[in-house]
Amino acid sequence: MCVYNPSGCSSSFRIGSLLLFAVLTLDYLNKKCRVFVLCQVKEMCALHTLNNLFQEREAFNKYELDDICHSLSPNVWINPHKSLLGLGNYDVNVIMAALQRRGYEAIWFDKRKDPKCLNLANIFGFILNVPSDYKLGFVMLPLRRRHWVAIRDICGTYYNLDSKFQSPQLIGRVSENSINLHSLAMCWKQFTL
């Protein structure tokens, strides 16, 4: 989905609020840009994706997303929008409501279309729901899960802000208001297969 707003590298790792995040500092046209990724904890990829998208460690928190879940289904004993165990695993409705609270709108994009048809100037970022293998320690379990991932332009460069990575992954630079759409399309296809 696309997220619209209608209205010299170094990396390091830090621990804050029990969340690991990677920081990448860029000097782009003499302005410092910090790019970070909150690393995966429990099944909180939706929370990490939102925070990675907004590049704020506390743009959203678990309690706010749980509150959204309860507002979406107020009188139910088992909430269909999150994990039974309270570990996260939030669905798309929670992400869309969280974006609306910030004044943004999520627009669905058909993965069969060519990403070149997108007007990137109007897009704040991308949120993808991708297949993900499930590991218990070092053991790969035969379960297919889904995982939320953010992609965003920060200081003229697109990054894959996947919380399963230890640092932001460079996709491509924006040059004269148009990113190397081939790089974005390759990343898109990699995630949407």
Catalytic pick among 2, 39, 162, 187: 162
For the chain, what is the domain count? 1
Model pLDDT, residue 137: 73
Which range, 136-145, 152-161, 179-188, has the best average confidence (pLDDT)? 152-161
Q: Active site includes 45?
A: yes
Closest CA to 99 of 181, 172, 3: 3
Residues across the chain: 193
Residue 177 has pLDDT above 50, yes or no: no
| CB < 8 Å & 24+ apart, contacts of 75-84 | 83/43
Q: Active site includes 147?
A: yes
- Residue 36, domain extent: 2-192
Catalytic pick among 45, 48, 69, 187: 45
Q: Active site includes 162?
A: yes
Catalytic pick among 2, 48, 81, 147: 147
Q: Is the pTM for the entire model greater than 0.75? A: no
Q: How confident is the model at residue 16 (pLDDT cuts 50, 70, 90)?
A: very low
